Structure 1
Amino acid sequence: MAQRNYVGGEWTEAGTGETFETVNPADPSETVAEYQQSDEDDAAEAVEAAAAAEDEWANTPAPQRGAILREAAGILADRKQELTEELTREEGKTHAEAGGEVQRTIDIFYYYAEKTRDLGGKVKSASAPQTNLYTVAEPVGVAGLITPWNYPIAIPAWKIAPALAAGNTLVIKPASLAPAPVVSIFEALDEAGLPEGVANLVTGPGSSVGDTISTHDEVDAVSFTGSGEVGQMVYDAATQAGKRAQTEMGGKNPTVVSSSADVEEAAEIVANGRFGVTGQACTACSRAIVHTDIYEEFVEAIVEEAESIEVGPGDEYDMGPQVGEGELEGTLEYIDVAEKEGARLVAGGERLEGDRFGEGYYVEPTVFADVENDYRIAQEEVFGPVLSVIEVDDFEEGLEVANDIPYGLSASIVTEDHTEAERFVDEIEAGVAKVNAKTTGLELHVPFGGFKESSSETWREQGDAGLEFYTIDKTVYDNF
C-alpha cells in the first residue's frame, strides 16, 4: 500500500491517482516504498489547510505548542532503531550515520520544545513617562518547506520544529529519493496530538508541488535546502511573489593543512570530512589544500585512509552507496573529467561491482593529487566521495586558494600555529569556520548557513536563528 500525503490532519491520496517508488541504493532491485505522485492541486489543498489552521495555532500558548513537540520527540526516540534502519534502507547511510541523524532529529525537537518557554519579545525603556515599550515576536504565517534527500530526517526537523514552535503552520515537500523519514516525523506529530491542518505533507515533483509551495498566495515564507540551481529558482520565485525566503545550497569546502600540522591527524580529519556519509553532504570537505613541506607525506597518508575504508551495505560497512544512479553517474563523470584535466589519480576512481555490491550504486573512495584550483574538480560541487588535493607554498596562498571559489559554506584548518588559526577564522569566506576539525558536523543550537552562492545570505537556520526566520516583530507603545 502506498504511503499517503498528510493534509488537514488526514492521511490522503493524491488527486492524480498516481504513485512513485523508491529503491534501496544498496540493492536497486528492492523497492522500499511507494508514495503519492502529487500535483499542483494537491499542493494547493495542503497550503489551504495550513492557512485555515493558521490563527488557531498562532493563538495557542507557546508552551502548549512545545508540549506537542516534546511528545513527538519522545515518540521518535521510542522508534529510533526502526527509523535508523528505514533511513539506511532508503537513503543508503551506514547504521552509525543514520542513527546519529535520527538522534539529532530527536534532539532538535526537544530543543525547540524547550525554546517555546522563552518566546515572546523584549522590553525597552521608553523616552516618555507612563509608557511601556516592548516588542512581540509573532509567527510569519504559513511556511513552505522544501527539503533534500541527503539528510532526509534532520534537515526537515530543523525546519519543521522551529516553524511549529514559533506558531506557524506549514507545508513540506520532501525529496522524492527518500521521503520515508519525513512521513515518520508526521506520524509522530499526528500521534502527539498536533491539531489538524497545522502541518501538511505532500510528496511529488518539485516542478509542480515545489513550485506551488514557493508561489502560492497563502504561503508567507519559503525555506529551501538543496542544489544551487534549484535553490536559485525557488528563491527567485518566492521573492518575486513577495515572500520571505531562505535557501541553503551547495559547497566546495576546503581544509587547509598547515606545515605545522600533524600529518596523520590531518589525513584522518580530511578523510572523515570527505568520505563520511559517502561524501553526500553540502559541508563535506572537497579540497585538501596542503603546504608543500608536508604535501607528499599527506598524499600518502590520505591514500592510506581512503584505502582502509570498507565499502558495502550500510548495516555492515564503513561507507554505503550513493543514493541513486544519477548521483553515481555524476560522480563517475567528475572522476573522468579530473583525469582529463591532468589531476593525478592516487586512490579509487572506479565503480564497485560484483560480490557484495551487486547492482548497488557504489564507488570507491577517490583521491586526486596535483589538482590545480582552476580545474572543474576543484571548482564545482562533487556530491560523492571524491577528494582533490592541492599543493600550496605557504599559508597566504592556502587562504587565497580556499577563498577562490563561488561557494562559502564550511571550511577548516589543521594547524598548531595559533596565529594562522586566528587569521583563518577572520579571513575565510565561509559561514562555518573550524580549527583542527572536519568540515562536517554541526551543533544544533548555533546558526548555520553559508556565504556567496552557498546561501541566499538572508536568514540562518538552527538555534535562535532558526526561530528568527519564522517570526516577525511587532513594536508596542503602551501609554497608560
Structure 2
Amino acid sequence: DSINPADKNDVVGKVQQSSIEDLDKSVAAAKQAKKNWKKLGAPARGNYLHIVADILEANLNEIAESMTREMGKTLPEAKGETARGVAILRYYAGEGMRKTGDVIPSTDPEAMMFTTRAPLGVVGVITPWNFPVAIPIWKIAPALVYGNTVVFKPATETAVTAAKVVECFEKAGLPNGVLNFITGSGSVIGQGIIDHEDIDAITFTGSEQTGRLVGQGAFARGAKYQLEMGGKNPVIVAEDADLDKAVDGTISGGLRSTGQKCTATSRVIIHEAVYDEFKAKLLERVKEIKIGSGLEDGIWMGPCASKSQLDTVMHYIQKGKEEGATLLYGGETPDDKELENGFYITPAVFEGVSSEMMIAQEEIFGPVLALIKVDSFEKAIELANDTKYGLSASIYTKNISKMLAFMEDIDAGLVRINAESAGVELQAPFGGMKSSSSGSREQGEAAKEFYTAIKTVFVKG
C-alpha cells in the first residue's frame, strides 16, 4: 500500500514488489532497444520529449494531486513541481537539435578531426520520494535525448505518482524497451540495478549512506555513476542584511515541503548585532504557519512524508535537547484532532546550537532550523563550511565585498546571494561538493557530460 501521510487511512494505490527476474526482463528490454533508439537520431528523440511534455501538461492537475496525496507537499507546490517537469522535458527536447561536437585542427593538413558524442547504453535511474516528478524527469529526459535507454526505479513511497509520469511517456508512443519502469525494495531492485552487468551507468539521488553503496558497486564493475546525496545547508545573515528578506528566505528555504529538500536551509548563522531582532521576526512568522493536508486551501506546510520520516525528525529534535540546545518553538505533534491520522509535526526552531552538535552536522530532512550566533563574517564562513556536506549555501548582505568573499570561500556547489538556499533553475548545472555529490553535475548542458562519452574522429582521404 502507498499511504497518504496526511491521512494514514487513505490508500493512494498499490505498489508491486518486483523480483530480480522482473528486473532482468526490464534490463533485457532496454538492451534490446538501445541500438534502434540510438540510430533514430537526436532530433527525433527530442520530438518524443515534446509530445511527453504536452501530455504531462494536460494531466498536470491529476498528477499534482496524486503527488500531494502520496508524499504530503501542498497542492500549489505539487503543481509547481509538475509544471517544472514539463519545462524540463521541453528543454531537453531542444537538446535534440543542438550540436554534439567540435572540429579540432589536425597536425596533418590532409586530415579532418572532430568530436562527437556517443550514448552510454542502458542507464539505471534511482530516485527519491521528495520530488517524485521533477527528479525522475531531469534524469530520464537527458538520458533519452542523448540516445540511452532507461531502467527506472522510483522510491516505493511515491511509486504511484511515478507511474503516472511514466504513463505520459507510454502515451507519447515511446518505442518498446526505451523506458522501463520497475518498483520494489531497494535491497532487491536497487541492489540489482547496482550489480547488473548490462546496466552501463547509474544516476542516483538519495541518502549519503545508500549513495556510497551505489558508487562502490558501480565502480567495482566499471559502470559510470552519478550521485546526489543531500546537504546540511547554511544561510548566513550578516549585520547589514535586510532582515525581512532574510526571514522570508529562511522560512521558505527551510520549511517549505516540510523541510524535505536536499537544498533546504537547516543552519541559520546570524551576526550577533542582529541576532535578537532576526530571531524575534523569525519566531513570529514561524508561529503563523498553518499545518494540515496539502489538498486544503490555505495550508502552508503538510505532514512528513511517512511515519519513518516523522520518527527520524523527532529523534533529531530529542538529540538537540539532550545536547544542550534550546528548543524555542515547535517540534511537537499538533494538538488538533483533525490531524491525528497524519504524520504531522510543528516546525522546530533551536538556539544555543554549537557546530559540533548532531543537529548542526547531520541531515535531518525535516522542518528543523538551528540558529547559531557569531561575532564576525569570518566566523560565519568557517561555521558554514564546518560540515561534510557542500550542496547549497546562502547569504543575506548588502555588502559587495562580503558577497564576493562568500562566493569565493564557501564550499558549496550552489551559491545563492540574497535568496533562499533551496532553488535550482533547470537550465543551470546542479550538484554539490564534498559528501553531497560524486562530482558530476545534473541539469542544463552539464547533463551531457554524464549521459554521453566523447568520441574523437580522425578522417583522412
Q: TM-score, normalised by structure 1?
A: 0.95
Does structure 2 conserve the Cα–Cα contact (< 8 Å) formed by 1:39 and 1:205? no
1:376 paired residue among 341, 354, 358: 358
1:45 paired residue among 20, 25, 49: 25
**Structure 1: how far apart are the matches of 2:134 and 2:424?**
11
How much identity, in percent, do the aligned residues show? 44
The residue that corresponds to 1:310 in the other structure is 290
**Structure 2: how far apart are the matches of 1:82 and 1:71?**
18
Does residue 476 (structure 1) correspond to residue 461 (structure 2)? The answer is no
2:77 paired residue among 97, 118, 122: 97
The residue that corresponds to 1:222 in the other structure is 202
1:320 paired residue among 302, 305, 308: 302
Within a 5 Å distance, the mapping from 1:189-208 to structure 2 comes to 189-208=169-188
Does structure 1 conserve the Cα–Cα contact (< 8 Å) formed by 2:2 and 2:160? no
**Structure 2: how far apart are the matches of 1:252 and 1:186?**
32
SS in 2 for 1:259: coil
Does structure 2 conserve the Cα–Cα contact (< 8 Å) formed by 1:353 and 1:359? no
Does structure 1 conserve the Cα–Cα contact (< 8 Å) formed by 2:102 and 2:114? yes
**Could you tell me how far 1:130 is from its partner in structure 2?**
2.3
Ranges in structure 2 where 5+ consecutive residues have no aligned partner:
none
2:319 paired residue among 337, 340, 347: 337
The amino acid of 2:77's aligned partner reads E
The residue that corresponds to 2:97 in the other structure is 117
- Cα deviation per residue 1:271-327 (whole Å; 9 max; x = unaligned)? 110001100001000000000101111111111121111000002200000000000
**Structure 1: how far apart are the matches of 2:132 and 2:2?**
13
**Structure 1: how far apart are the matches of 2:408 and 2:164?**
41
1:241 paired residue among 205, 217, 221: 221
Ranges in structure 1 where 5+ consecutive residues have no aligned partner:
1-20
**Could you tell me how far 1:355 is from its partner in structure 2?**
2.7
Does structure 2 conserve the Cα–Cα contact (< 8 Å) formed by 1:119 and 1:166? no
**Could you tell me how far 1:353 is from its partner in structure 2?**
4.5
Within a 5 Å distance, the mapping from 1:156-305 to structure 2 comes to 156-305=136-285
**Could you tell me how far 1:100 is from its partner in structure 2?**
0.7
Deviates more, 1:178-187 or 1:422-431: 178-187
Q: Could you list the structure 1 runs, at least 4 aligned residues long, displaced by more than 6 angstroms after superposition.
A: none
The residue that corresponds to 1:30 in the other structure is 10
The residue that corresponds to 2:108 in the other structure is 128
- Cα deviation per residue 1:306-356 (whole Å; 9 max; x = unaligned)? 111100000220000000000001111111111111111111120125332
Does residue 71 (structure 1) correspond to residue 51 (structure 2)? The answer is yes
Does structure 2 conserve the Cα–Cα contact (< 8 Å) formed by 1:332 and 1:351? no
Q: What is the count of residue pairs matched by the alignment? A: 459
The amino acid of 1:350's aligned partner reads E
Deviates more, 1:350-359 or 1:140-149: 350-359
**Could you tell me how far 1:181 is from its partner in structure 2?**
2.4
- Cα deviation per residue 1:156-200 (whole Å; 9 max; x = unaligned)? 000000000000001011001111222112111111110000110
The residue that corresponds to 1:435 in the other structure is 417
Cα RMSD after superposing both structures? 0.9
**Structure 2: how far apart are the matches of 1:287 and 1:302?**
13
Deviates more, 1:387-396 or 1:182-191: 182-191
- Cα deviation per residue 1:356-376 (whole Å; 9 max; x = unaligned)? 212100000110011111111
**Structure 1: how far apart are the matches of 2:386 and 2:403?**
19
**Structure 1: how far apart are the matches of 2:242 and 2:432?**
28
Does residue 453 (structure 1) correspond to residue 453 (structure 2)? The answer is no
Does structure 1 conserve the Cα–Cα contact (< 8 Å) formed by 2:14 and 2:160? no
- Cα deviation per residue 1:135-162 (whole Å; 9 max; x = unaligned)? 1101011000100000011000000000
SS in 1 for 2:156: coil
